[in-house]
Structure 1
Amino acid sequence: MRLVLAIKDMVVSFDGYRALDSVSVDVEDGASFGIVGESGSGKSTLLRAVAGLNSFSSGILSVNGRLYEGRKRDKEFYRQVQMVFQDPYGSLHPRQTVDRLLREPLTIHGFADAEARIARALDEVGLGAGFRFRFSHQLSGGQRQRIAIARALILEPKVLLLDEPTSALDASIQAEILNLLEQVRKDRGLTFVMVSHDLAVITHMCEHLAVMKSGKIVETLSVEQLRDGDFSTDYTRQLMTASEGFRSV
């Protein structure tokens, strides 16, 4: 299949510390790819570097065959690639209504059919028009994350970067959001790149995954290989043992 995202030998440094150390990842079009590792392993840094929120000093980033450097991203990039952040409380402007939050990217990208797109986006995430003129402080955590997903979808991107999209939510809400994301991916034929510390989430949502430690990828494998215990590093075994649902391995 065609690669939609290709990362080769990416390096991200902060004050001389290598947060990413020559990381390489390939993601096929339509795939759901997971990145797992303990806190500080570099997984969120990798996603933020792809999105242009962190600058990478060397290496290659290719999206649909187009090369990007450092933090330089153009409108075409954000038409294709959108990100959903971990914290729904911090990712939405508290003084903007849901309508304005959804309308802003449409205005930036020059869409003329804003009304129809806003209505569709709200329906798609299970909220509807009744939420359109509420402020984020009037929404629950799960509702805020649904709005964040709607905002990411409204430009009809091809790739969603998902940075721990349910870890800040109650357990009962996490499953709802994961099921919503799974349905959206199926309906739209999206490519997912999902970061999580929770292997149970990754094995539910993804087909392949990369395991990160100390800014490096220690192995890449399929979910089937993980379930069968067909992996090569003790670190992966430790993650499985620590992760809920894998304690018997």
Structure 2
Amino acid sequence: MLSVDNLEVTFAFGADEVRAVRGVSFNVQQGESYGIVGESGSGKSTVLRAICGLAPVSGGRVTLDGVDIPAPRTPDFYRRVQMVFQDPYASLHPRHTIDSVLSEPLAIQGFDRRDERIAQALEDVGLGQGFRFRYPHQLSGGQRQRVAVARALILEPQILLLDEPTSALDASIQAEVLNLLDRLRAERGLTYVMVSHDLAVISHMCERLVVMEHGLAVEELTRADLRAHRAQTDYTRKLLKASAGYTKEDEPA
């Protein structure tokens, strides 16, 4: 359904250039949840931003159902592909009510029955009508991220790009949001591309994943490979060891 082929993203700073993504390729099937993992600065979030048009693609192709995605992205693309950002405190306008946040994409795309759609979107993410006219500062982090998910889903897209959607939340709230995303994918047949540095989250949410290091895709694994620690590269083995956390054996002699 979504194909990334030899993707390159280069940022220019005066005479200097930074190759943030270098020849990354992967394919995501319809209804699949696909993970992108790596340490901070590996380029994983930049891949998502390049797909949705927020980072400059300097080489390679991104296709949707075999058709090149146009640049700049069209309204039709955003009807099919939406993104949920990492920080629920930064992704919602502080002076807009939740009603305004959810109304705006409907107005841009020309949807009818807006009141009905907003009410249903809030119900779908477990908030309800009581949150409709609140401001973001009146919501907890988990509630804000539920609003961000509702905003992404209100256009009835086929693909969600999830950029560390729970990393800014407390552990107990993380589980609630992940379970919400799992349920919505099952109910709607959604396709996910999820970025995370947390291998436990990826193992729970994704059937397959690609590991990134310094802008490169170094290895692709299945969920079974990840859980069995069947890694082919030293970098992935180090990530797996780090994700296991501190153990007494790590103490210096």
TM range (shorter): over 0.9
Q: Which runs of 5+ in 1 are unaligned?
A: none
Contact 1:158 1:190 in 2 (8 A): yes
Q: What residue is the counterpart of 1:10 in the other structure?
A: 7
SS in 1 for 2:231: coil
Task: Please list the CA deviations of residues 141-190 of structure 1 after superposition, one character each: whole Å capped at 9, or x if unmatched.
Answer: 00000000000000000000000000000111000000000000000000
TM-score w.r.t. length of structure 1: 0.95
Q: What residue is the counterpart of 1:56 in the other structure?
A: 57
Confirm whether residue 197 of structure 1 aligns to residue 194 of structure 2. Answer: no
Q: What residue is the counterpart of 1:144 in the other structure?
A: 144
TM-score w.r.t. length of structure 2: 0.94
Q: What residue is the counterpart of 2:41 in the other structure?
A: 40
Which has the higher Rg, Structure 1 or Structure 2? 2
For the residues of structure 1 that align with 2:246 and 2:62, how far apart are their CA atoms?
Answer: 33
SS in 1 for 2:57: coil
Contact 1:7 1:62 in 2 (8 A): yes
Task: Please list the CA deviations of residues 6-31 of structure 1 after superposition, one character each: whole Å capped at 9, or x if unmatched.
Answer: 01011101121110001111000000
* Structure 1 residue 246, shift from structure 2 partner: 9.8
Letter in 1 for 2:3: A
Map 1:133-212 to 2 at 5 A: 133-212=133-212
SS in 2 for 1:57: strand
For the residues of structure 2 that align with 1:176 and 1:217, how far apart are their CA atoms?
Answer: 30
For the residues of structure 2 that align with 1:236 and 1:92, how far apart are their CA atoms?
Answer: 35
Contact 1:10 1:20 in 2 (8 A): yes
Letter in 2 for 1:164: E
Letter in 2 for 1:174: Q
For the residues of structure 1 that align with 2:195 and 2:153, how far apart are their CA atoms?
Answer: 18
Contact 2:44 2:212 in 1 (8 A): yes
Q: RMSD across aligned C-alpha pairs, in angstroms?
A: 1.3
Aligned residues with identical type, % of pairs: 61
Map 1:199-238 to 2 at 5 A: 199-238=199-238
Deviation beyond 4 Å, 4+ runs, structure 1: 245-248
Q: What residue is the counterpart of 2:99 in the other structure?
A: 99
Q: Which runs of 5+ in 2 are unaligned?
A: none
Letter in 1 for 2:8: V
Confirm whether residue 125 of structure 1 aligns to residue 122 of structure 2. Answer: no
* Structure 1 residue 245, shift from structure 2 partner: 6.6
For the residues of structure 1 that align with 2:39 and 2:229, how far apart are their CA atoms?
Answer: 19
SS in 1 for 2:111: coil
Contact 1:102 1:150 in 2 (8 A): yes
For the residues of structure 2 that align with 1:214 and 1:231, how far apart are their CA atoms?
Answer: 18
Cα gap change, 1:177 to 1:82, in 2 (>3 Å)? same
| Equivalences, count | 244
* Structure 1 residue 223, shift from structure 2 partner: 0.8
